[in-house]
Amino acid sequence: MLNGNELYINRELSQLEFFDRVLQQAADTAVPLLERLRALCTVSSNLDEFYEIRVAGLREQCLLQSPVVGPDGLSPQELYTRLNLRVRELVDQQYRLFNDVLIPAMAEQQICFLRRPSWNPVQAEWIRDFFFAELMPVLTPIGLDPAHPFPRVLNKSLNFAVELEGRDAFGRNSGNAIVQAPRALPRVIALPSDISGCQHGFVFLSSILHAHVGELFSGMTVRGCYQFRVTRNSELFVDEEEVKNLREALQGELPHRHLGDAVRLEVADNCTPAMTAFLQEQFGLSASEVFAVNGPVNLVRLLQVPDQVDRPELKYKPFRPAVPKALQEHADIFHAIRDNDILLHHPFQSFAPVVDFVRQAAQDPDVVAIRQTVYRAGHDSVLLSALIAAARNGKEVTVVVELLARFDEEANIGWAAQLEEVGAHVIYGVVGFKAHAKMVLVLRREGGKLRRYVHLGTGNYHSQTTRTYTDFGLLTCNESLTQDVAQVFSQLTGLGQTNSMTHIWQSPFTLKKALLAAIRCEAEHAMAGRKGRIIAKMNALLEPDLIQALYEASRDGVRIDLIIRGACALRPGVAGLSSNIEVRSIMGRFLEHSRIFYFHADGAEKVMLSSGEWMERSLSRRIEICFPILDTKLKQRVIAEGLTPYLSDPRDAWQMTPDGKYERRSPHDGQAAQDILLAALT
């Protein structure tokens, strides 16, 4: 039996276990080869954001000698040490996989990365010509001397530290120089097949620079050239209670994101100890914060390779998302929704009906008003373009734009400005609370009365993620449910006390209380000899009170299955504590993003979909909605498509052990849940 701090697994350490599961996809020979390369690059992307936000915050706590400890009992200093050690293991494993497995496997498929020692004279000449024509004109070598101090190195940019010998035209001899690679330059360059000698031949930008860096320092001798990359604290600080205009304040902060405090330095493993120490000193980092890697320091940019290689057999098989029959039969989407609620399961079913919903509303003369929340929409959003058209058509358009959506601030600021230009009402949420709910409300005049139509979802209104994330969306005109949605919008745009709602559980007001009550209710059923059953699917489970409630329900006899994609602080399978709880993570073709909460409810089967996780921030510092599936058939669909296949997935499921590690169930036996859904729904 565990006590106190041992009841919880640390969030950051659990998140690193998720990154490890992503890395295992890159090692899985059953995954198409170029998709394995994507998975490998995704690990680097995940680690970048992890250091920019989570590790950066932890590092600040360490520097301030913060005494605060989390539910797991680890001090910031203890956690920081453990994180860097675990990341080092992951990175070493990642580069071994890249060099020893993926590069040879791709070479067998005529996808070759040409290294400098292997260039033949024809290849060397082509690369030299490319350097002089395409690279040298845009490179700015910076010799380090009193007049040229160490340059400002942008976050995650590719740079080269050069060791020189000799004197330049002015008689200077600093010994060191920096060459920065502009972001516009590709990190891998495709060679013509007749030059490369294979169907798809690539050379790393770093290899070209290493070969020809001497051309940038005429008359001097290059003693060494080493690539490096620094990751910086990218958290934006805006005092929402002090600023008068949040958008202007954010616009002022965004340029500084690339120049925050350094938190990690990546260098090539051939970098000399002296140069490593020099760079370490420039960025104010300790030895534990330096990572020497055997290969390109910017693996994220290799994501462009699968897009440049036209080999469908080495990628996931393409599919066409289906459109529900009800929408195929009715060109008028409002007619279809009046007949029955419509459930959409992305990406197996198309996101196009959601776009059509807003587009038709924008053009429909009977539509009076449209309201929508925007958390992540991307730079190219057909939905927001439709809202702009609606405002131009004289509709009353209100958009709640969350400006503090991390790493989407710039895109959201741009959309906010465009919407305001056409007369839409743009609201920036509520001070101190991120608006994370996913809602569209359309107000339409029918037969002399106003009728509400809504779309509610578990995922963002983002065209790219709707093709790669699993999410559910609901189109409905149910009077009481749409009234609840109207109340949420009123809270976001106006002032006033909260009113009780019929169906929706909303944070920061009722969501946590309702979840705790639903968990306790299942425990009461179990203690009374009836069936107690909970199934919850989400991206992260971290909130201590909910974890404690699940522990208590498990002890009371409730069977609990948790499908948690990422971090999970709960320890499953501990005798006397969580022996009735199983936690699994699904790692497949699509990123599992749906939030589904199932409670047996003494046979009534309550099924809720949510925009948020069981995390403290989602329950107390964000505006989230959790809404029921009221239609019996649709409720059974959510269970049959969103839960049941994942509980018996024999291929993509990873079982969590009490120590926070994960074991793959049976990686090559049977059909994965996502494959079953692709076959059934598309």
Closest CA relative to residue 681, chosen from 590, 606, 571: 590
Assess contact for 464 and 351: CB atoms under 8 A.
no
- Lowest-confidence pick of 11-25, 59-73, 581-595: 59-73
**CA–CA dist 614, 624 (Å, integer):** 11
pLDDT confidence tier of residue 497, bands split at 50, 70 and 90: confident
Q: Distance between CA atoms of 507 and 427, rounded to whole angstroms?
A: 19
In whole angstroms, give the CA distance from residue 429 to residue 621. Answer: 12
Q: How far apart are CA 431 and CA 182, in angstroms?
A: 37
CA distances from 671 to 561, 640, 667 (A): 20, 16, 10
Burial class (CB in 10 A: 0-12, 13-18, 19+), 385: middle
Q: In this model, does residue 145 exceed pLDDT 90?
A: no
Tell me the fold of 325-502.
Endonuclease; Chain A (3.30.870)
Residue ranges of the domains in the chain? 10-314, 325-502, 506-681
pLDDT band at 405 (very low <50, low <70, confident <90, very high): confident
Which of 393-419 are b and which e, b meaning 16 or more Cβ less than 10 Å from the residue's Cβ? eebebbbbbbbbbeebbebbbebbebb
- At 249, the pLDDT band (50, 70, 90 cuts) reads low
Q: What is the pLDDT of residue 406?
A: 82
Residue 506's closest CA among 631, 630, 401, 608? 608
pLDDT score at 248: 64
SS3 378: coil
CA atoms of 207 and 115, how far apart (whole Å): 7
Report pLDDT for 169: 61
**For range 544-555, the mean pLDDT:** 98
Is the pLDDT confidence value at 243 over 60? no
Per-residue pLDDT, 147: 65
CA distance 451 to 444: 5
Contact predicate 396/369, CB 8 Å: yes
Amino acid identity of 556? D
Give the contacts of 72 (CB within 8 A, at least 6 positions apart).
Answer: 5, 8, 9, 10, 11, 569
User: Is 379 designated active site?
Assistant: no
pLDDT average, residue stretch 208-230:
94
Residue 242 has pLDDT above 60, yes or no: no
For residue 268, the model assigns a pLDDT of: 96
> Cα-atom radius of gyration of the chain, to the nearest Å?
27
Alpha helices (H) along 68-224: 76-97, 103-108, 121-130, 193-196, 205-212
Name which of 157, 116, 149, 140 is nearest 266 in CA terms. Answer: 157
Confirm whether 10-314 and 325-502 share one CATH topology.
Answer: no
The Cα–Cα gap between 608 and 503 comes to: 10
The CA distances from residue 643 to 37, 97, 321, 357, 673, in Å, are: 29, 33, 20, 27, 9
Phi, psi of 678 (to 5 degrees): -60, -45
pLDDT at 329: 86
pLDDT mean over 492-508? 88
When pLDDT is cut at 50, 70 and 90, the band that residue 668 belongs to is low
Q: What value does the mean pLDDT take over residues 644-667?
A: 92
Return all residues near 306 (Cβ < 8 A) that are at least 6 apart: 34, 35, 37, 38, 314, 315
State the Cα–Cα distance between residues 631 and 475, nearest whole angstrom. 12
Per CATH, the homologous superfamily of domain 506-681 is Endonuclease Chain A (3.30.870.10)
Q: What percent of the chain has pLDDT over 90?
A: 83
Q: Is the pLDDT of residue 241 over 60?
A: no
Tokens of 402: 């969350």
Closest of 234, 260, 254 to residue 153, by C-alpha? 260
Buried b (16+ CB within 10 A) or exposed e, 31-46: bbbbbbbbbbbbbbeb
What tokens appear for 555 in the block?
A: 């002890």
For residue 402, pLDDT beyond 80: yes
Whether the predicted pLDDT of 218 surpasses 60: yes
Catalytic residue among 210, 345, 436, 600: 436
pLDDT band at 247 (very low <50, low <70, confident <90, very high): low
And the tokens for 59?
């590092």
Question: Mean pLDDT, to the nearest integer, of 411-417?
Answer: 89
Q: Which residue has the tokens 């359309």?
A: 442
pLDDT reading at 257 higher than 70: no
- The mean pLDDT value for 555-561 works out to 98
Distances (CA, A) of 213 to 160, 166, 183, 216, 489: 9, 15, 18, 6, 58
Tell me the pTM.
Answer: 0.94
Lowest mean pLDDT among 139-153, 238-252, 370-384: 238-252
Residues 423, 360: Cα–Cα separation, whole Å: 19
pLDDT in tens, 457-468: 999 999 889 999
How many C-alpha atoms does 314 have within 13 Å on its Cβ side? 20
In the beta sheet, which residues pair with residue 596?
Answer: 537, 609
Q: Which residue has the tokens 């060679």?
A: 191
Residue 224: pLDDT band (50, 70, 90) is very high
* Least confident range of 17-26, 71-80, 165-174: 165-174
* Alpha-carbon 157 to chain mean position: 20
Quote the CA–CA distance of 279 and 285 in Å, as a whole number. 9
pLDDT tens for 452-495 read 999 999 999 998 899 999 999 999 999 999 999 999 999 999 87
Record the tokens describing residue 603, joined without a space. 């046979």
- Going by their DSSP bridges, the two strands 596-599 and 396-401 should be labelled as unpaired
pLDDT of residue 520: 98
CATH architecture, range 10-314 = 2-Layer Sandwich (3.30)
Q: Is the pLDDT of residue 79 over 90?
A: yes
Is the pLDDT at 107 greater than 70? The verdict is: yes
Collapsing DSSP to helix, strand or coil, 190 comes out as strand
Four-point Cα dihedral 126, 130, 132, 136, nearest 10: -150
The rounded percent of the chain whose pLDDT value lies above 70 is: 94
Mean pLDDT, to the nearest integer, of 49-66? 94
Can you tell me the distance from the alpha carbon of 204 to that of 295, in angstroms, rounded to the nearest whole number?
10
